[in-house]
Amino acid sequence: MKMLSLIVPCYNEQESLPVFYEEVIRVMQEIETEYELLLINDGSSDDTLTIMKRLSEKDSRVMYFSFSRNFGKEAAMYAGFCHAKGDYVAVMDADMQDPPSLLPEMLSIMERGEYDSVATRRVTRKGEPKIRSFFARKFYKLINKISDADIVDGARDFRMMNRDMVTAVVSMCEYNRFSKGIFGWVGFKTYWLPYENVERVAGETKWNFFSLFKYALDGIINFSQVPLSMASWFGIIMTMLSFFVLLFVVIRRAVFGDPVAGWASTICVILFLGGLQLFSIGVMGQYLAKMYLETKKRPHYIIAESNADEVRKIK
Ligand code: UDP
Ligand code: MG
């Protein structure tokens, strides 16, 4: 029988985790497949780890990996991928926004063998602040235009993959991870499963507008070199423009003489160009900062505590 690994990144999910566990158990009873639950504690400051330990004591399919601090959801997912042993591997949030009830359908699509992965996308963003939805849509439009990773609007990280795809994802060991881009970049045949947005069962989202904006920028910088080439384009356009301005100034000087004027326009041009230069240096700085972190080759996460070895030994 094929085995399914479920990876669940958790950061301060003490309220959601028990609800999530019960629901997964209920859903998995309906389908007869072997499975393991990999709970990743991403440096929670509440009782998430205690709950994980309790669950793993009563259920031998539950494994927990507890990070030494908060490393972020991307690192938590990566840890999951590295430790999952299943033929199929799925990632899902602990807050029930990735409904476990979709698992049987996803698994049956995978078992047909036609697709390498089943991914989910929200067709509505009901219950989400309007402004967040607006910027999210714009972001997906932009990143698809300027990068070669195919990123679907409304795509969640919630997806099930076969071993081949997981191996490919694990082989992408970049430090700055943007999973939505990585899943798209590795390719493979993906089936898209649409569903209606579900709100969190408990607790609060860890994202605010600023952190989402940063996430979007990271996505762009990680998967596109377009911002980098923008500086040279600005440069080329400015040079051409300045050539015409030069012509204009020379002709005006020849025809009308040279009354001292144009202080305002000079200042405008200086400020504009200064701004453009700082912006371009800033863009380069962003890429340089990413490179700096990549070259250090720091680990993606540090596991302080886990029961995985014991669980695997018993099995
Ligand atoms: N999460 C995590 N580390 C973090 C932030 C979030 O592991 O630093 C987990 C969180 O526990 C949840 C999932 O990632 O299971 C999605 O987080 P959240 O619900 O806050 O994001 P949203 O659904 O609002 O996009
Ligand atoms: Mg959520």
User: How far does the centroid of ligand 1 lie from the alpha carbon of residue 74, in Å?
Assistant: 10
N-to-C CA span, the chain: 15
**Residues 139-166, mean pLDDT to the nearest whole number:** 85
Planar angle of CA 194, 196, 202, nearest 5 degrees: 125
* Cα torsion through 230, 236, 241, 246, rounded to 10: 140
Measuring CA to CA, which residue among 12, 11, 8 is closest to residue 23? Answer: 8
pLDDT > 90? residue 9:
yes
**Residues 233-246, mean pLDDT to the nearest whole number:** 83
Q: Which of 156-160, 244-248, 310-314 has the lowest mean pLDDT?
A: 310-314
Share of the chain above pLDDT 70, in %: 97
Q: Which of 52-61, 90-99, 277-286 has the lowest mean pLDDT?
A: 277-286
What's the pLDDT score for residue 303? 94
Is 43 a pocket residue for ligand 1 (Cβ < 6 Å)?
no
β-strands 117-122, 88-91 pairing:
unpaired
Measuring CA to CA, which residue among 279, 175, 273, 179 is closest to residue 228? Answer: 279
Mean of the per-residue pLDDT values of the chain: 86
Dist. CA 277–CA 110, nearest whole Å: 51
Is 176 a pocket residue for ligand 1 (Cβ < 6 Å)?
no
User: How far does the centroid of ligand 2 lie from the alpha carbon of residue 95, in Å?
Assistant: 6
What's the pLDDT score for residue 259? 67
Q: What is the DSSP letter of 101?
A: G
The token duo for 247 is 């012509």
Is 205 a pocket residue for ligand 1 (Cβ < 6 Å)?
yes
User: How far does the centroid of ligand 1 lie from the alpha carbon of residue 10, in Å?
Assistant: 7
Q: Among the atoms of ligand 1, which is closest to the Cα of residue 8?
A: 15
Question: How sure is the predictor about 315, in pLDDT bands with cuts at 50, 70 and 90?
Answer: low
Q: Which of 89-103, 107-121, 192-206 has the lowest mean pLDDT?
A: 192-206
The bound ligand whose nearest atom lies closest to the alpha carbon of 13 is 1
Q: Among the atoms of ligand 1, which is closest to the Cα of residue 206?
A: 20
pLDDT > 90? residue 118:
yes
Is 97 a pocket residue for ligand 1 (Cβ < 6 Å)?
yes
CB proximity list for 93: less than 8 A, separation 6 or greater: 8, 9, 157, 158
pLDDT > 70? residue 35:
yes
Dist. CA 119–CA 139, nearest whole Å: 19
Minimum CA distance residue for ligand 1 atom 22: 205
Question: How sure is the predictor about 64, in pLDDT bands with cuts at 50, 70 and 90?
Answer: very high
Dist. CA 187–CA 75, nearest whole Å: 21
Question: What pTM was computed for the model?
Answer: 0.79
Minimum CA distance residue for ligand 1 atom 19: 205
Is 180 a pocket residue for ligand 1 (Cβ < 6 Å)?
no
